[in-house]
Amino acid sequence: LATAATALALAVTANTAAAACDDGEIVIKFSHVTNTDKHPKGIAATLLEQRVNDEMNGKACMEVFPNSTLYNDDAVLEALLQGDVQMAAPSLSKFEQFTKTFRLFDLPFMFKNINAVDEFQTSETGQAMKESMTRRGLLGLAFWHNGMKQMSANKALVSPSDANGLKFRVQNSDVLKAQMAAIGGSPQPMAFSEVYGALQTGVVDGQENTWSNIYGRKFFEVQDGVTETNHGIIDYLVVTSTDFMDSLPDDVREQLTTIVTEVTAARNSESTAVNAAAKDAIIEAGGVVRELTAEQRQEWVTTMMPVWEQFKEDVGQENIDAAQAINA
Ligand code: LMR
């Protein structure tokens, strides 16, 4: 019976996934790791899927696989290069094996808010970053915003010294490892899909993420509370392979690129509001949110900022200066 039920479930899934695709259409599989509701990336990917399937019907079709159902972020870039999926939107922290310039976005307190990130990305330097990995077969189509990161742990975090000796899950990024070491924590790289279980079982004590990720994966349920540090950002690169892009007929490539650009503009302007709603939802669900005074937050700044020094050469002093000029 179990086998029959599984087979049925698989058939239904296959049907749903295939529903958007007719014979002869170019299939675009988009794999990502977050939830779809109250999440900037989830909402944007769903909108992109709808628009491609409505407007490109007969030419191309898109199937979005959220929640790490197809690949986690470590595997997805390899899958893109192999042609197993055609689109993904990993956070900028996940491109460690491909470029060091993205380290700028992981440096703590580099950008004061997502508008500053947007302004940097829109600059000539920012736009060039999208195409900085073509040599390795990856082509960035757009930056998608999530939001500012917050810190959580299984004890109250008010001063950075409260983090001393705690294990923190990090994305697999050298900057983020150095940042957690700077506050006396022990960084534990781990896939996003494993974080809830690791927090629940005490494999790690804490983590950093945006409100939408903390809400979407319910991390707040297995943490003492979330401290509003706004110490860094999570942003995404919508990425495809150069092979896939080159294989497309000109009109398909142009239409797809236009839709991506329009969805990006429509959803990026909403990302801050989506995160604010996720924060409210955490509080409504009984999660504890701790705000810091200006003096308390300054302690986090002072403790984390020395990390910049270690990565100055990778990211370029001129890029740091450009980012800081935007903040001013
Ligand atoms: C994480 O791994 O914490 C995030 O990059 C997940 C995501 O895609 O927002």
- Please spell the DSSP secondary structure of 250-272, one letter per residue: HHHHHHHHHHHHHHHHHHHTTHH
Please give the helix or strand (H or E) that residue 181 lies within, else none. Answer: helix 174-182
33 lines ligand 1 (CB under 6 A): yes
**Probe ligand 1: pick from 37, 67, 74, 91, max atoms within 8 Å of CB?**
91
| pTM score of the predicted model | 0.94
Residue among 310, 292, 308 at smallest CA distance from 300:
292
207 lines ligand 1 (CB under 6 A): no
Q: What is the pLDDT of residue 14?
A: 45
| Structure tokens given for 187 | 């960084």
Q: What is the pLDDT of residue 226?
A: 98
Give the distance (Å) from ligand 1 centre to CA of residue 260.
20
* Residue 281 identity (one-letter amino acid): A
Q: What are phi and psi of 27, to 5 degrees?
A: -90, 125
Please give the helix or strand (H or E) that residue 127 lies within, else none. Answer: helix 124-130
Which position has the token pair 């079982």? 201
Q: What is the pLDDT of residue 20?
A: 79
d(CA 279, CA 147): 11
Q: At 227, is the secondary structure helix, strand, or coil?
A: strand
In contact, 106 and 180? CB cutoff 8 Å: no
ipTM over 0.90: yes
d(CA 179, CA 174): 9
State whether the Cα torsion 202-204-205-208 is positive or negative.
Answer: negative
Give the distance (Å) from ligand 1 centre to CA of residue 91.
6
Residue among 219, 177, 172 at smallest CA distance from 198:
219
Q: What is the pLDDT of residue 33?
A: 97
* Residue 1 C-beta-side C-alpha neighbours within 13 Å: 0
DSSP state of 69: S
Q: What is the pLDDT of residue 18?
A: 52
Residue among 168, 232, 242, 244 at smallest CA distance from 199:
168
Query: Which residue's CA is the closest to the ligand 1 atom numbered 6?
Result: 192
pLDDT in tens, the chain (328 residues): 445 554 544 444 444 445 679 999 999 999 999 999 899 999 999 999 999 999 999 999 999 999 999 999 989 999 999 999 999 999 999 999 999 999 999 999 999 999 999 999 999 999 999 999 999 999 999 999 999 999 999 999 999 999 999 999 999 999 999 999 999 999 999 999 999 999 999 999 999 999 999 999 999 999 999 999 999 999 999 999 999 999 999 999 999 999 999 999 999 999 999 999 999 999 999 999 999 999 999 999 999 999 999 999 999 999 999 999 999 8
Q: What is the pLDDT of residue 1?
A: 44
CA geometry: angle at 293 spanning 289 and 299, to 5°? 100
* Widest distance between CA atoms in the chain: 64
Give the distance (Å) from ligand 1 centre to CA of residue 116.
20
Residue among 72, 100, 99 at smallest CA distance from 85:
72
* Residue 300 identity (one-letter amino acid): W
152 lines ligand 1 (CB under 6 A): no
146 lines ligand 1 (CB under 6 A): yes
